Amino acid sequence: MDNNIQKKTAKENIRNQHDKGYKFLLSSKRVFIELLKSFVGQEWVKDIDETGMVRVDKSYILQDFADKEADLVYRMKLKDKDVIFYVLMELQSKVDFQMPYRLLLYMVEIWRSLLKDTSRKEAKRKDFKLPAIIPIVLYNGERKWTACINYKETLDSYETFKEYVLDFKYILIDVNSYNKKDLLELENLIGAVFLLDQKVDREELMNRLSELIGVLKKLDSERMELFKTWLGRILSNRLPKKEKKEIERIIEESKEVEDMVYNLERTILEGFKEYEKRGIEKGIEKGIEKGIEKGIGEVVIRQLKKKFSDIPEIYIGKIRSADKNTLINIADNIFEIKTLDDLDKYLN
């Protein structure tokens, strides 16, 4: 198989995993409402009632886009109004400039389907109205989303015809646009998911896992199971094959949040060691190698702080100045280090 085709297939598989991951999460009505209340700043969101909400179990596939379909469609009761919320999760690396047009086709297809299921007598009534559809795009690509938000902006010379051209706008939820502090302050499942799904390096990913311990401990059992399933699917795609099975085992078997995070950190640390054994990839500069060494040091410090309530600054300084072989040796023997005197044996 051609290398370019292999790379394209690999990227598509990763995108599909993210798509399936979010679709899995947002198929839960409680999580979907949580998403809206956390990231959609509209007054009507406050009036959403989970009991009046139904997921439409039907695929809306467009003939012009054979490989595209609406991921999630919810029908909601909103103060005695029947409102259909339309969510399309486009989780690809490139911005889709045809998104407004695609959303229009999806909405028309939904309305067409509703009319098809409505009796002709009812549809001909003067007071018959189609339900409103609110399109929402959930995007987690690395680049800034630059596609038009307003449909009319995709039309040539729309300014000339003013209000006489078709127009609507969609709500954009851009995962990478939110800052770390705001996501942590949400203290909910969807905030934790966004925090871990953002494009960060391994060291920062481990830091975020640790910072989420308090949030994860507050999740009820249903949300925690959803989170663990999502984490297993997504996190494993960022790691070498050898680490995937271990990641899945840790997430599945861990009973306590602290244990899960602690063991995930150790497994991710093994990834650093794997890169070291392979001599680091060709063409990687020495500065990146130094960054990996620093990352191992910070992980070792965090692991030791979990073992001892307090670590003197002199030890932290020694660890940060230690070479990678020393750091890996400490990490390998972390369970055998019972006292600070034991730690001295590795640092002296």
Q: What angle do CA 339, 206, 17 make, to 5 degrees?
A: 145
Cα–Cα separations (whole angstroms), residue 62 to 3, 107, 158: 31, 11, 26
Rounded CA gap, 208 and 194, in Å?
Answer: 11
Residue ranges of E strands in the chain: 53-55, 61-62, 65-69, 72-78, 81-89, 133-139, 171-174
Nearest-angstrom CA–CA distance, 2 and 8: 10
- 227, 209 in Cβ contact below 8 A? no
State the pTM of this model.
0.74
Q: Which two tokens stand for residue 111?
A: 């309305």
pLDDT at 58: 76
Tokens 């406050």, residue located: 46
Cβ neighbors of 8 (< 8 A, separation 6 or more) are none
pLDDT by 10s per residue, the chain, length 348: 454 444 444 444 444 555 568 888 998 999 999 999 999 989 889 888 788 888 888 777 666 665 565 578 888 888 777 777 777 666 555 688 999 998 998 889 889 999 999 999 999 999 999 988 999 999 988 889 999 999 999 999 999 999 999 999 999 999 999 999 999 999 999 999 999 999 888 788 888 999 999 999 999 999 999 999 898 887 776 666 677 778 888 888 888 998 898 888 887 777 656 655 554 444 444 444 555 666 777 778 887 887 777 788 888 888 888 887 888 888 878 878 888 888 888 887
Residue 326 Rama label (left phi>0; alpha psi -120 to 50; beta): alpha
Distance CA 168, CA 157 (A): 16
CA-based nearest residue to 224, from 180, 177, 192: 192
